[in-house]
């Protein structure tokens, strides 16, 4: 069974640029959630995708957008990057079958200069 994978592991961008982060869900999982974790803080929920549709969204602006593909992998896109977007971005997959446990990937560390 393959776990959750994310790419890239690290990324450096400058203000105003756009970034795409990728996530492959664990085998058998159809739901992907994205979180932002700033240094020294707990993760903050960005949004969740279930069967290619957005299934819930946290308090993040529209420049944070996402996609889920038929194989349940997912992308997080951030436009017009700001310095405060520097964080660890975590992807989690789950089966949405009533048991909600989310399994996390190793994260992508984004630094915006």
Partner 1 sequence: GEDVEQSLFLSVREGDSSVINCTYTDSSSTYLYWYKQEPGAGLQLLTYIFSNMDMKQDQRLTVLLNKKDKHLSLRIADTQTGDSAIYFCAGSFDSNYQLIWGAGTKLIIKP
Task: Tell me which residues touch partner 1 (CB under 8 A).
Answer: 31, 33, 35, 40-45, 48, 55-56, 58, 90, 92, 94, 96, 100-107
- The CB-of-47 to partner 1 minimum distance in angstroms stands at 9
Comparing CB distances to partner 1, the nearer of 16 and 30 is 30
Per DSSP, the three-state class of 13 is strand
Comparing CB distances to partner 1, the nearer of 12 and 80 is 12
Exposure string for 57-94, b = 16+ CB within 10 A, e = fewer: eeebeeebbbebeeebbbbbebeebeeebbbbbbbbbb
Comparing CB distances to partner 1, the nearer of 3 and 16 is 3
Comparing CB distances to partner 1, the nearer of 35 and 80 is 35
- The CB-of-112 to partner 1 minimum distance in angstroms stands at 19
54 CB neighbour count, 10 Å cutoff: 13
- The CB-of-60 to partner 1 minimum distance in angstroms stands at 12
The answer to whether the beta carbons of residues 81 and 15 sit under 8 Å apart is yes
């Amino acid at each position: 069974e393959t776990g959750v994978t994310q790419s890239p592991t690290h990324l450096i961008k400058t203000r105003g640029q756009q970034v795409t982060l990728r996530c492959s869900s664990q085998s058998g999982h159809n739901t992907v959630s994205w979180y932002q974790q700033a240094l020294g803080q707990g993760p903050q929920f960005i949004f969740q995708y279930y069967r290619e549709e957005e299934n819930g969204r946290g308090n993040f602006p529209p420049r944070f957008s996402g996609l889920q593909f038929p194989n349940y992998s997912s992308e997080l896109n951030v436009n017009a990057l700001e310095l405060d977007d520097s964080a660890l971005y975590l992807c989690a997959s789950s089966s949405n079958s009533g048991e909600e446990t989310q399994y996390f990937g190793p994260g992508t560390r984004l630094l915006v200069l």
